[in-house]
Structure 1
């Protein structure tokens, strides 16, 4: 059982509280240094800088801004791994999966299925509404973008998965002994993490339902499959595909993507697309990995005593 991987180390509440502080320090504290340093090289007066993602991308260049932004997540991942290893005395494997070793086949299967689904959807959007998309291909900039996306974006998405669906899901599962509440709380926290994204100004706080929904989607993958592998593959593919294919002036990801979209955001369309991902992707994974006992996996106890498993 994935959540029970935290049990042999007898997790204490104080360890998780300090762990949150340490991870946030690495992620938001140390992680802000590259961005601040980059801004100093471009402007002597930081107070005059437009601090929105679009403004910073204009100041630094989209690729430099993307790389320094992603570096904060890389530092967060390093801090999380170090804390889990040396304070919780827990292996990275046990933070990843209930299996004896990390199943890379699951990661890559989820990755490629997601690329086909999201890439196909985005391409269909371009074909159906060509007037809303401007071809933006610049060979040199796109090659640099592709290198950043391949090398750094999977580390950003991995940090979020290990932090929310790994560290916090296991910790809350132990604390509440409830798979359902650990799913609800971590999914909600994942959504609220995006509360300062520029999409909020454009669409409103209702867009947080999309991020919370994504948290539920990846949380269900994790609980049903007893490991992070599918969520790791999905999250990386989702962000990488969007970063390479489409950008807008109001989104958090400002990139030299193939297309610039001028279409107005549609919350209803976003939620419809999210619902499609729930049906299609969870359906594919359920068939591929023969998921059973949904009720117990999503609503049952997080901790199962040995006598319960052998009864």
Structure 2
């Protein structure tokens, strides 16, 4: 069962101005700031590479196939975070800090989620390293050189998505609707849909959307039970850490992956099996986080 007081405290700032028109307008502001930031980065990119090479350069950068382009993609999410800040500050007239939850909870739960995810992933990681015939990715020297700035970028990327989906959207919908089918499911469905990438995922695209949305649903539940975005942020960070910096199927965002798996999105049967394992692993991690929250 949810602990109502914990969730009520988390949602309380959003109840001051819960009107749906404010939410729609806030999302428009968020998207405008996000796209404006990306455009600003594009201008900087053009200044570095020149107008003649802009199209080819932006196409390569968007795929994140090199360390520099991957870091660039991660830092585009600064705009998403700034957009969420602008929406709550200027449309809902509440503090930016209210998106996160209590500061002490955020960092404690972030660390707990990160460690629980990584600890429970150890058997799977060891199995893949020992028994799966992996291809080589980026060299260790390059990986280590880029890792500090890449980790900062990953913190921004995962934090920005949590601020929008488990922060802004979940809070504002919970302030307006009592049903979990609204404030848990709607943001999770949107979270899955924004990961729709048919060019990279091929025939597995809708399976990826479903699994991502299911992951979002588990994160929404943990956010409601913990009273901050910290635990969801920690799990999201750990998940993307393994998916971007350790193993990759090679479709995109693989510029800093150490190893390449011997299958890709076009291998639909293998992808279905692997995504099924992902779902099972997510449920185990979610259960571990639920246990930790009850014990704290």
Q: Shorter-chain-normalised TM-score: which range?
A: 0.7 to 0.9
Counterpart position of 1:5: 13
Counterpart position of 1:125: 128
Corresponding position: 1:51 with 2:54 = no
List 4+ stretches of structure 1 deviating above 4 A.
Answer: 45-50, 55-58
Q: Which runs of 5+ in 1 are unaligned?
A: 292-311
Any residues of structure 2 matched to 1:51-70 within 5 Å, and which? 51=59, 56-57=63-64, 62-70=66-74
Counterpart position of 1:272: 277
* Superimposed CA distance per residue, residues 228-261 of structure 1 (whole angstroms, 9 cap, x where no aligned partner): 11101111111123222122321x3222221122
Counterpart position of 1:284: 288
* 1:173–1:204 CA distance, 2 compared to 1 (3 A): same
Counterpart position of 1:18: 25
Deviation at 1:71, TM superposition (A): 1.8
Q: 2:33–2:79: 8 Å Cα contact kept in structure 1?
A: yes
* 1:102–1:93 CA distance, 2 compared to 1 (3 A): farther
* 1:96–1:56 CA distance, 2 compared to 1 (3 A): closer
CA distance in 1, matches of 2:67, 2:51: 18
SS in 2 for 1:51: helix
Q: 2:81–2:160: 8 Å Cα contact kept in structure 1?
A: yes
CA RMSD of aligned residues (A): 2.6
CA distance in 2, matches of 1:119, 1:44: 46
Deviation at 1:167, TM superposition (A): 0.4
Correspondence for 1:81 among 65, 85, 103: 85
CA distance in 2, matches of 1:89, 1:48: 42
Deviation at 1:168, TM superposition (A): 0.5
* 1:46–1:100 CA distance, 2 compared to 1 (3 A): closer
Q: 2:249–2:264: 8 Å Cα contact kept in structure 1?
A: no
Q: 1:96–1:102: 8 Å Cα contact kept in structure 2?
A: no
Larger helix percent: 2
Any residues of structure 2 matched to 1:148-163 within 5 Å, and which? 148-163=149-164
CA distance in 2, matches of 1:180, 1:6: 18
Q: 2:246–2:258: 8 Å Cα contact kept in structure 1?
A: yes
Counterpart position of 1:164: 165
CA distance in 2, matches of 1:240, 1:163: 20
Counterpart position of 1:113: 116
CA distance in 1, matches of 2:77, 2:60: 18
TM-score (norm 1): 0.80
Deviation at 1:78, TM superposition (A): 1.8
TM-score (norm 2): 0.84
Counterpart position of 1:230: 231
CA distance in 1, matches of 2:131, 2:139: 23
